[in-house]
């Protein structure tokens, strides 16, 4: 087992990057329909994830990774939903089976095992920071979107000056978390679950 928790979690991440939607995205085969569905799924996921984070922000295992100003995506995704689905987007956005499973897992973890939120936060936010700018440019080109960034607020982190430095900070905080070997094992297992759910989500689009 790798010494650092962040390294242990990173090993499962390459699987998620190989999902069908990601492969299509990187080959610029993304469609407007598929992209809209993916963005709606992300809205549901982040709304649930961030509600559970708020509920557990004082939990000693999770608290060092609480960065709402820098990382939280719900407000950005609400802007994107209005762009893609119109002013009544809350009534219009789809809620796919894989998304429902993902949200259900986040709710379960947040209520009964909040220390496992570490795994989901890592799987989502560090992946977004790593690939977000590349995906934004691909989407702008493939879908002929405005250069102003409308419809793509999700991919922009205005309160992070350097993604590389922030990821280093986040990983160092993660590696310093105090957890028993049993909790650490469960966090690593939960990260594998999170990455598999991400793959299922991407293959729906």
Distance of alpha carbon 140 from alpha carbon 204, whole angstroms: 21
What are the backbone angles phi and psi of residue 164, rounded to the nearest 5°? Answer: -60, -45
Written as one string, the DSSP assignment of 116-170 is GHHHHHIIIIIHHHHHHHHHHHHHHHHTT--TT-TT-GGG--TT-S-HHHHHHHH
Residue 171 marked in a binding site: yes
**Which residues, 6 or more positions from 194, have their beta carbon under 8 angstroms from its beta carbon?**
119, 120, 122, 123, 124
Residue 13 marked in a binding site: yes
**Nearest residue to 132 via CA among 154, 150, 109, 114:** 154
Residue 74 marked in a binding site: no
What residues form the annotated binding site for heme b? 13, 122, 171
What residues form the annotated binding site? 13, 122, 171
């Amino acid at each position: 087992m790798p010494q650092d928790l962040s390294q242990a979690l990173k090993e499962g991440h390459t699987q998620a990057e190989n999902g069908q939607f990601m492969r299509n995205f990187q080959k610029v085969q993304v469609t407007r329909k598929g992209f809209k569905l993916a963005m709606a799924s992300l809205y549901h996921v982040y709304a649930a994830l961030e509600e559970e984070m708020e509920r557990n922000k004082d939990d000693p295992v999770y608290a060092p990774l609480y960065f709402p100003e820098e990382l939280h995506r719900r407000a950005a995704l609400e802007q994107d939903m209005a762009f893609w689905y119109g002013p009544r987007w809350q009534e219009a956005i789809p809620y796919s089976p894989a998304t429902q499973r993902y949200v259900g897992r986040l709710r379960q973890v947040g209520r009964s095992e909040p220390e496992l939120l570490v795994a989901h936060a890592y799987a989502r936010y560090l992946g977004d920071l790593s690939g977000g700018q590349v995906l934004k440019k691909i989407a702008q080109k493939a879908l002929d979107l405005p250069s102003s960034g409308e419809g793509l607020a999700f991919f922009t982190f205005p309160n992070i000056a350097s993604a590389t430095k922030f990821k280093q900070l986040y990983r160092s905080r993660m590696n310093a978390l105090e957890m028993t070997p049993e909790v650490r094992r469960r966090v690593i297992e939960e990260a594998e679950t999170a990455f598999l759910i991400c793959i299922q989500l991407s293959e729906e689009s």
